[in-house]
Amino acid sequence: MSIRPVLETRPAVPTMEGAGVHLHRAFGFQDPSELDPFLLFDDFRNETPAHFEKGFPWHPHRGIETITYVLNGTVEHGDSLGNTGTLGAGDVQWMTAGSGIMHQEMPHGNAAGQMHGFQLWGNLPAAQKMVDPRYQDVEAQEIPEVIDDDGTVVRVVVGEFWGKRGPVDGIAADPQYLDVSMPAGVKKTFKIDTYRRAFAYIFEGQAAFADASTPTGVLLEKEVMGEEVNIRDLSGDRTLIRFGSGDEVTVQAGENGVRFLLISGAPIEEPVAWHGPIVMNTKEEIRTAMQDLRNGTFIKPAH
């Protein structure tokens, strides 16, 4: 077994999208090979309705999948195929844009005015970029939850973990998407297949992640004794951790516990041509997509 090295830690960056939604971006519109097959990750947590209720009006997507996970509040959605619905707390929507779709997403706060959720973009390989669009809406009660004896709770959104399988199927890049909550002081090792690229995103509490040169058995002991040890002590507020190659990640929860997403997937390793919400393999395909938008032929008839 080998611990995945921590290649980088970085805070999510405040930005604005849609019609004026204030959010934090952990990665996106940078080097697409860093976290291939994933392209972008946004954290839309806010307690000021004026900063999110104008939402994301009608816009196009082609060549990607978008994964929306709601923790607080709701997101109303509609698309050019006639689909409509509302995502509530704990719900997930996995949208395969494929050949092209127009949709809108309108967030609303809970009774306390709070909105919190995440959106992840996954790339599609060339062979699947022009597949028919589809939605998979998953309600909170459909997502399996595993509770370990030490109090660790893992929601298995996508993929398989500890004998449980998430409800989303038929997705490119064979992803695993876990929502992990660990009590204070707990240390846990998570297995991740070596062929996957992986990252963690901390959004509550604090944690230390063992690096490749740190023996996992002394992670807690050396931290307590104040010795120098190659780990990462992280602020729990919107922190991205990018891992290198290996087959396990070891986490030590801080004094207030920690909650984080642990996400991994098989890299596609194809050229990326990117224009906003449209991601293809070549610039010529991007030009075709933009021409389709101008001509009103962006939405393809179902096969």
Report mean pLDDT in 10-residue bins for the chain, 303 residues.
89 93 93 95 94 94 95 93 91 94 94 94 96 92 96 95 87 90 95 95 90 52 39 68 94 91 97 95 98 92 59
The dihedrals phi and psi of 8, each to the nearest 5 degrees, come to: -165, 145
Any idea what DSSP says for residue 300?
Answer: P
Burial grade of 171 (CB within 10 A; 0-12, 13-18, 19 or more): buried
Q: What is the distance in angstroms between the CA of the first residue and the CA of the last residue of the chain?
A: 46
Taking Cα atoms as reference points, which of 229, 207, 250 lies closest to residue 9?
207
pLDDT at residue 223, rounded to an integer: 46
**Distance between CA 271 and CA 278 in Å, rounded?**
14
pLDDT at residue 212, rounded to an integer: 64
Domains of the chain: 6-265 (2.60.120.10)
What does the block give as tokens for 101?
Answer: 């779709």
Q: What does pTM read for this prediction? A: 0.91
**Distance between CA 185 and CA 229 in Å, rounded?**
17
The dihedrals phi and psi of 221, each to the nearest 5 degrees, come to: -60, -45
Any idea what DSSP says for residue 62?
Answer: B
